[in-house]
Structure 1
Amino acid sequence: MPRRYWYIIIIYLATQLSGIVGAPILLAFGMGQTDAIAVWSIISFTIATVWMLLLLRPELEEKSDRSKSGVIILWGIAGFFLALFAQNIAGMIEMYLFNSSPESENTEMLTNIASQSPIFILLPVIFAPITEEIIFRKIIFGSIYKRTNFLLAVFISSLAFAAFHFDFTHLLVYFAAGSVFAFLYVRTKSIITPMITHMILNSLVMVVQLYREDLENYMEQMETILLGGFF
């Protein structure tokens, strides 16, 4: 594995742990706890994302092909529906076979922070998809795929992706999404494709979670209107 890949992994891990030091510094300047976590997360992941992309720049430029941009975007959008379908199947398996709750603790935690400090939305919608696809698809999956085969590479990288979210009740859901992302990467030969899918998927989750009550009220109103129209 190239040395720059190891640098990227170290940067990613350091960024994940940097809040232990960074958030208390912002707290010392009088910032609230939630805002301190949100602001530090955005600062640290902005730096990490730029740094990681710079380290990958020679490789990305070498493989860039503007003629494929339309294909990449289309597959990125189509991949969203594939990932959504795969996650729904995985969620039903978890619910019916393992009696798991459909609620995700990891998602609820991120939503709670975003609801109190909106700037935090940038983390799951922008920075997490970019950094996670670089780590789990570009580096882990890509390195294993070159030496073994697709199935083994998908299994190891998707399992690592799922475990790293520390939401073991929904391990299968994250694994399913990771498998779709890996398929998109291989299908288009561009890491940008799963990034796009990942961004759309996370954006949908955040919108649904943040506006759940409004959406539920809207659905109830629509149901009342439709029933009133029939009767």
Structure 2
Amino acid sequence: EPRLSIKLSKATWGWILAGIVFVFLAQMVGSFLDKSLFQLSTQSENTSSTVAAAVISPIAIVSIVILAPLVEELVFRYATMNILMKKFKETGSIVISALFFAIMHFDFPFIFGYFCIGVVLAFVYKRSNQLLVSYIVHAAMNFIVLMLQII
């Protein structure tokens, strides 16, 4: 049973660090697929609009870095994965959850990027058995992407 604990062991920190590395590798793979298959030359509309909001409002930064990952992890990892695990094996649950995560971003030309990120977040969640791990990875990714776009 997945935990909602906030205690982080050394092994948990290992999952967090590995998750951050792999989420960016997944984003690069997904971005390559998106750009190759859809002939894209721009960045995601979702990313563009969140960066624009963050530049205008510090509250948007809190929403992007803290609130959005919290809601998405509760919905797509904790709730969805736990429901899916009752009907599917782990791999199927990870893939379906990642697909829901990608579709939910409503940015179809960048669906592979979101899907690959969703796979990593779901994998880290299942392996660590702790929602806080996938949340920290997700929040760190959003923070780093946001800072790279703003700076």
TM-score by structure 2 length? 0.91
Aligned length: 149
Look up the match of 1:101: 41
Q: CA deviation at 1:65?
A: 7.9
Counterpart check, 1:166 vs 2:106: yes
Retained in 2: the 8 A contact 1:72–1:192? no
Retained in 1: the 8 A contact 2:20–2:140? yes
Retained in 2: the 8 A contact 1:91–1:102? no
The 2-side partners of 1:156 and 1:96 are apart by 23
Retained in 2: the 8 A contact 1:73–1:196? no
Q: Percent identity?
A: 34
Q: Comparing both structures, which one devotes a greater share of its residues to helix? A: 1
Dislocated runs of 4+, deviation >3 Å: none
Larger Rg: 1
Which of 142, 145, 148 is the equivalent residue of 1:202? 142
Q: CA deviation at 1:186?
A: 1.0
What one-letter code is carried by the residue in structure 2 that aligns with 1:127? L
TM alignment of 1:92-171, pairs within 5 A: 92-171=32-111
User: Which structure would you say has the larger RCO, counting Cα contacts within 8 Å and 6 or more residues apart?
Assistant: 2
Deviations 1:99-145 (A, max 9, x none): 12350100110111111112210011111111100100101122102
TM-score by structure 1 length? 0.61
RMSD: 1.6
Listed as ranges, the gaps of 5+ residues in structure 1 are: 1-58, 212-231
Q: Secondary structure at the match of 2:119?
A: helix
Q: CA deviation at 1:95?
A: 1.3
Listed as ranges, the gaps of 5+ residues in structure 2 are: none
With over 3 angstroms needed to count, the CA separation of the structure-2 counterparts of 1:105 and 1:208, relative to structure 1, is same
What one-letter code is carried by the residue in structure 1 that aligns with 2:148? V
